[in-house]
Structure 1
């Protein structure tokens, strides 16, 4: 995952450099995200998160499949089942919801998330960390979630525009203040005044 570019204090953007979320997000795509609290994360959200013991400490993008208390299970070639209901996942690559992962059957601990990539055959996600609290990660590890609607993108654009206008306004005020100070200063005296000249003829 590329480095995040901070936009204001609420929004961020990242450049995708892996295939785990393909075809939803492919390498080179710029993805816009909104910073969010752990308690606001919901099933289906695509989130940017970072843990110190996985992915060499890098931030990664994955989809939330289960939250605290959810029962998540899957058999090879079958859909993911959450709390007894098969998930409808039109976003998974090649229509394959399982990939090469072994079967699993877990209950997500409270305050934690079970996350999968959309390219199930090429995603290092919760399925491969099942011995660590059912493969889950702390909800507090989430840094932001993807903006998936036009309202969010419009808010982002307005935030950027507002920041530019505020910066420009501050610059105009500084220039105006400097000009006003310069005008209020007394005119400087001549450095080398010419000596008086006797105009009387001889």
Structure 2
């Protein structure tokens, strides 16, 4: 997934339903028949159910683009701006409940292009573990939430002790003067 992610990068994955996945999302999924047992694969969603993914418009030029439903993709995230890298044409109609996924390093990625015999190379939505979120913001959000939780717990404990000590004080004696009766 270079240049977006490199080996050793920490990523945060949020679990999402298949209906929440969109084109452009980076997902973590498993495909044991393709990549061996239990390994997670991180790739980008290019097409969702009923999309038509075609490679490539302006093949062999600097303007080479993959099209989805006839519209060229603008992919600023691909390594060195290479839209395909394999120089292999494909035209895939993505079945419902499946995703067409590609790596961002198109010259060195084992993605949907290499498995055309398996539903056009698509991956079942059920194989998706989750969507990769911004790896720098999420840990900060989690750390901030944890800190806030600890702070609220400490405040709660302080108020608990304060309430207990207020309850233990003896009640003030009420003295009534005869003119108040």
TM-score, normalising length: structure 1 = 0.66
> Which residue of the other structure, out of 16, 30, 37, is the alignment partner of 1:36?
16
CA apart distance, 1:31 = 1.2
Q: 1:68 to 1:164 in 2, by over 3 A?
A: same
Which of structure 1's runs of 4+ aligned residues deviate more than 2 A?
75-78, 148-159, 162-166
1 CA distance for matches of 2:108 and 2:25?
19
In the alignment, is the contact (CA less than 8 A) between 1:47 and 1:64 conserved in 2?
A: yes
Contact 2:15 2:129 in 1 (8 A): yes
Distance 2:136 2:109 in 1: 28
Aligned length: 148
Q: Matches of 1:60 and 1:93 in 2, distance apart?
A: 18
1:5-30 alpha-carbon deviations (Å, 9 max, x no partner): xxxxxxxxxxxxxxxx0001011111
Deviates more, 1:37-46 or 1:119-128: 37-46
Q: Which residue of the partner structure matches residue 85 of structure 1?
A: 71
Aligned Cα RMSD in Å?
A: 2.5
Aligned with 1:73 (options 46, 50, 54):
54
User: After the TM superposition, which residues 150-165 of structure 1 pair with which residues of structure 2 at under 5 Å, given as runs?
Assistant: 152-159=138-145, 161=146, 165=150
Q: How far apart are 1:157 and its partner, in Å?
A: 3.1
Deviates more, 1:120-129 or 1:94-103: 94-103
5+ residue gaps in structure 2? 158-181
Asked which structure has the greater RCO (Cα within 8 Å, sep 6+), the reply is: 2
8 Å contact 1:101–1:127 — kept in the other structure? no
| Unmatched runs of 5 consecutive residues or more in structure 1 | 1-20, 173-202
Give the Cα separation in 1 of the matches to 2:97 and 2:117.
17
